[in-house]
Amino acid sequence: MKNKLGALRFMVLAGLGAAMALPLVWAFCAALRPPDEPFALGNVFFGSHLSLDNYTKALSLAPFVQYYVNTAWQVGAILAVQGVSASLAAFAFARYRFPGDRVLFTVILLQMMIPSAALLVPNFSTIRFLGLYDTILGIALPFFGSAFGTFLLRQSFLSLPRDLVDAAAIDGCRWDQELRLVFLPNAGSSLAAFALSSLSWHWNDFLWPLVVTQSDAVRPLTAGLVRFTQMGEIGAQWGLLSAATMIVTLPLFAAFLIFQKQFVRGYLSSGLK
């Protein structure tokens, strides 16, 4: 009976995994389809042969090198500042008790319940007021604080043995030494999980960069894909759009495959299920 339930569970999970992977598989196949072979009912995957023409044309139509540089600066700036702010906030909530700490932590967590689209107008007004419209800093600034990162690292810090923390205090460590020498080294998996989550989220973010930029000089990869959707006068270029999408997503997909163990370990060590 247990073997049958295990086999059924495996089949269900395998079916769900295949359903989730199907759009990515289709995009990969469509990108390798010859541009002169239209899609037809019953023939939506590979064409008569494999071709890189869609990739070649996509690279010629958009400055992907500039988009990659912009995305790297944007994601790197967000991740660097979030790492500092989330670590400091998580350390304060995990290490100390002060009046209103639970209320303040609850208020921080409430930020995760607010849809990002609801903050689009006030964030845009703030960026225009600061004169940061159409800049990489303007894209990154609203995300310098992370409620999710604070929560994830706090849970990881709370899981540290109390004896280890007390030993550091007895040895005369200052608060910054405790954070740097005790808490952060023992939260490596959670830091890796948070870094991958932040990287994935901001790499794939589309609406905010599209609203706050107007030139290719600062647009990231996702906003740069807009030019491939504005070719309606020549028909839907699904192969070309798929090739451009694969150029954007493949580096992130490869990074997840490389660091997936750290990603899963970080969530498990933080107590999240």
Residue 12 falls inside a structural domain: no
And the tokens for 135?
A: 């800049």
* Cβ proximity of 81 and 144 under 8 Å: yes
* Cβ proximity of 139 and 218 under 8 Å: yes
Residue 52 falls inside a structural domain: no
Total number of domains in the chain: 1
pTM for the model: 0.80
Q: Measure the CA–CA gap between 56 and 37, rounded to whole angstroms.
A: 16
Which residue ranges of the chain lie beneath pLDDT 70?
1-2, 37, 39-47, 230-236, 262-273
Backbone dihedral angles phi then psi of residue 40, each to the nearest 5 degrees = -140, 160
Q: Measure the CA–CA gap between 235 and 257, rounded to whole angstroms.
A: 35
Q: Measure the CA–CA gap between 182 and 167, rounded to whole angstroms.
A: 10
pLDDT at position 159: 84
pLDDT tens per residue across span 182-239? 888 888 878 888 888 888 888 888 889 989 988 888 989 888 888 777 665 555 677 7
pLDDT at position 262: 65
Query: Burial of 139 by CB count in 10 Å (0-12 exposed, 13-18 middle, 19+ buried)?
Result: buried
pLDDT at position 231: 61
Residue 22 falls inside a structural domain: no
And the tokens for 125?
A: 């007004």
Residue 226 falls inside a structural domain: yes
SS (H, E, C) 220-245: CHHHHCHHHHCCHHHCCCHHHHHHHH
pLDDT at position 125: 92
How far is residue 129 CA from its own chain's centroid? 27
pLDDT at position 273: 46
Query: 43 by DSSP, 3-state: which?
Result: strand
Backbone dihedral angles phi then psi of residue 62, each to the nearest 5 degrees = -140, 145
Q: Measure the CA–CA gap between 109 and 103, rounded to whole angstroms.
A: 10
pLDDT at position 264: 67
Residue 157 falls inside a structural domain: yes
**Tell me, what CATH number does 264's domain have?**
1.10.3720.10
pLDDT at position 25: 81
Domain span holding position 128: 63-270
And the tokens for 25?
A: 């598989």
And the tokens for 195?
A: 């870094």
